[in-house]
Chains A and B, each alone.
Chain A
């Protein structure tokens, strides 16, 4: 991709700092691209051209006045519609929030604005982040730029597809069971789920509070690190926010890019490979391991015997927490209200939630209500919490042997839109490799490992101990360097050209 939209965030930031390009030009170029291609991709639910250009002009004025600005000042960003934005519609992909304009900014959004990143708009997602395909958005699915008939992953398919179709150089996602990493994998982009508590969740519409984490998405590992640095850090408004300073993730990404991993121990998770993983996914994964070995890393196999139970535990814990969190959509203070005038509050809630929630959300709320109900609590929710302990012990044991763990991010490449809509269990299997990290709160990254035999991107997942997010960037950057030197350029240089609609 040529022109301003083809540049990485680092390249754009450099050009902005050197005054070769203005933020208005960079922002307008992306708005033009959105206008030209988002009709076929549908990455955005709302585009804020006016607000983005105003923010760009403000950065340009400050720069012209000689002010020292943060590194990414003037580089535009797209924000997943699960983060509230003052004055900008926020729906979380749900009909129940159609047209809602929040009265405040999420902390992450406030940090983006403070760092001078113009917000292009809000990206599409599965309703309340429940799904792996964006097909559960009340506003229609997002299409994968590699093949418009295929899913872009989910729930953050909009944020990933925006990157892969050059509609934004940076985007924000949220990851409860893989919603940053799996879309990154199937779109050939990079995404990081930080350590639980590493990025503020104030103003993030809650799905499952003990699992949710906001994180950065981009086209390169270094861009991801720079965005992570902007949004991370302690927030007194989030009681689960980590108080200690973040590790030097940007330094780690730069160090990793030199390609030397001498002394780094990498563990391949035995339970996250083999049966159920597409051949092309396994082949690309093995090739990446060879490159890491050639970079000086020591590769060993590690067993995490309880990982096969993670998916089941997750689909008890998540619906349970979601059924409680989504009780706030009560048709009283904001959002949709369906009221025929005759009913009580209880009747109005039932009618509103029937119309306002989609199938998957209803399914999970009912499942969660069941798992938490008297007589079943110990067998389901209680047991799931015990599995969580076992998963954490697996990670603890593994990280005494190795510095990072690796696996394919998703068992398959992007499937066709509609293919798994009627089979929720098949849909849930997409998250089999990403879920353990959420249950244990550890950080994870997905980066492109190449194309499978079907011509679609494969993701490589790296997992690190809690608070050691820098290791993701060290290893990720080294692998990216090795892969791109083999490919002769970034994987996304091979993404099909989208037809631009004349404006």
Chain B
């Protein structure tokens, strides 16, 4: 069965934006390999003729009447922000410096 290497975990962690410690990489590689081995059994019954289901009950799109509702106020929206300035979220630098 498929095996998830330490490097795979490092790459996935980067995609998921989680910095992992060296010890975590090793531990997760072992655990994830075992879990993926176990869950891979889905392919035994998931044959071509079976349709995929994404949702438990059929859904239709929902619209609301085009009426103005008072939104969450600026103060309330910013109250829990890690940093705010001039009524806006203050965030770290977006782009890194070019090497």
**Roughly how many angstroms separate A149 CA and B24 CA in the complex, as a whole number?**
28
Q: B54 and A210: CB pair below 8 A?
A: yes
Report the separation of the CA atoms of residues A339 and B82 in the bound assembly, to the nearest whole angstrom: 10
Decide yes or no: A383 and B46 within 8 Å by CB, A334-B80, A350-B17, A370-B8 being known contacts.
yes
List 3 A-B pairs, minimum CB-CB distance, nearest first: A441-B56, A337-B82, A383-B46
Do B46 and A196 touch across chains, with their CB atoms under 8 A apart? Answer: no
A313: B residues at CB distance < 8 A? 39, 42
Judge whether B92 and A348 touch: CB under 8 Å: yes
User: How far is B82's CA from A343's CA once the two chains are assembled, in angstroms?
Assistant: 15
Chain A interfacial residues counted at CB < 8 A: 71
Shortest Cβ gap from B42 to chain A (Å): 4
Q: How far is the CA of A146 from the CA of B9 in the complex (A)?
A: 40
Given A239-B62, A370-B4: A365 in contact with B42 (beta carbons within 8 A): no
Q: Find out whether the CB atom of A349 lies under 8 angstroms from the CB atom of B17.
A: yes
Q: Are B32 and A370 in contact (CB under 8 A)?
A: yes
Residues of B bordering A, CB below 8 Å: 4, 8-9, 12-21, 24, 28, 31-32, 34-36, 38-47, 50-57, 59, 61-62, 64, 72, 76-77, 79-83, 89, 91-96
Across the interface, do A386 and B52 meet the contact criterion of CB distance under 8 Å?
A: yes
Establish whether residues B81 and A334, one from each chain, have CB atoms under 8 Å apart when the complex forms. Answer: yes
Most central of B21, B43, B56, B57 by chain A CB within 10 Å: B56
Residue picked from B12, B42, B83, B92, most chain A C-beta under 10 Å: B42
| Complexed CA–CA distance, A54 and B87 (Å) | 33
List of A residues within 8 angstroms of B31 by Cβ: 363, 424
List the A residue with the shortest CB-CB distance to B32: A367
Which residues of chain B have C-beta atoms less than 8 A from A242's C-beta? Answer: 57
How many angstroms between the C-alpha atoms of A236 and B64 in the bound complex?
8
A166 at the interface (CB under 8 A from B): no
Given contacts A103-B76, A239-B61, 4 further A-B contacts (CB under 8 A): A330-B17, A363-B31, A366-B32, A384-B42
Kindly identify, within residues 368 to 413 of chain A, every residue whose CB is under 8 Å from any CB belonging to chain B. 369-370, 373, 379-380, 382-390, 392
* Bound form: Cα–Cα A369–B12 in Å: 6
Q: In whole angstroms, what is the CA distance A349 to B95 when docked?
A: 13
Complex contacts, A346 vs chain B, CB 8 Å: 17, 96
CA A90 to CA B67, docked complex, whole Å: 30
Contact A210 B55 (CB under 8 A): yes
Cα-based distance from A415 to B10 in the complex (angstroms): 33
A351 to B13 Cα, complex, angstroms: 11
Q: A312-B38, A333-B81, A345-B93 are in contact. Are A392 and B53 (CB under 8 A)?
A: yes
Q: 12 interchain pairs (CB within 8 A)?
A: A101-B79, A312-B40, A316-B39, A335-B82, A336-B82, A344-B95, A345-B93, A354-B18, A363-B32, A386-B53, A388-B52, A390-B45
Interface, chain A (partner B; CB < 8 A): 100-104, 195-197, 210-211, 236, 239-240, 242, 306, 309, 312-313, 315-316, 323, 327, 330-337, 339, 343-351, 353-354, 357, 362-363, 365-367, 369-370, 373, 379-380, 382-390, 392, 424-425, 438-442, 466
Contact A344 B52 (CB under 8 A): no
Q: Tell me, in angstroms, the Cα distance from A324 to B31 when the chains sit together.
A: 21
Q: Which chain B residue lies CB-closest to A104?
A: B72
Contact A309 B79 (CB under 8 A): no
Are B42 and A344 neighbours in the complex by a CB distance under 8 Å? no
**Residues of B contacting A386 in the complex (Cβ-Cβ under 8 angstroms):** 42, 45-47, 50-53
A380 cross-chain contacts in B, Cβ below 8 A = 36, 39-40, 42
**In the assembly, what is the distance between CA of A334 and CA of B89, in Å?**
10
Nearest-neighbour CB distance to chain B for A350, whole angstroms, equals 4
How far is A382 from B55 in the complex, measured between Cα atoms in Å? 13
Least CB distance, B97 to chain A, in whole angstroms? 9
* Contact A312 B82, beta carbon cutoff 8 Å: no
Of all chain B residues, the one with the shortest Cβ separation from A312 is: B39
A332 to B72 Cα, complex, angstroms: 17
State whether A316 touches B42 (Cβ < 8 A).
yes
Closest to B78 in A: A333
Most buried by A among B12, B35, B59, B83: B35
CB of A205 to closest CB in B, whole Å: 14
A332 adjacent to B15 (CB under 8 Å): no
**With A and B bound together, what is the CA distance between A100 and B42 in angstroms?**
39
Q: Which residues of A contact B77 (CB under 8 A)?
A: 103, 333
Contacts of B53 in A (CB 8 A): 385-386, 388-389, 392
- Pick the contact of B89 from A327, A333, A424 — CB < 8 Å? A333
Partner of B42 from the list A210, A373, A387 (CB cut-off 8 Å) is A387
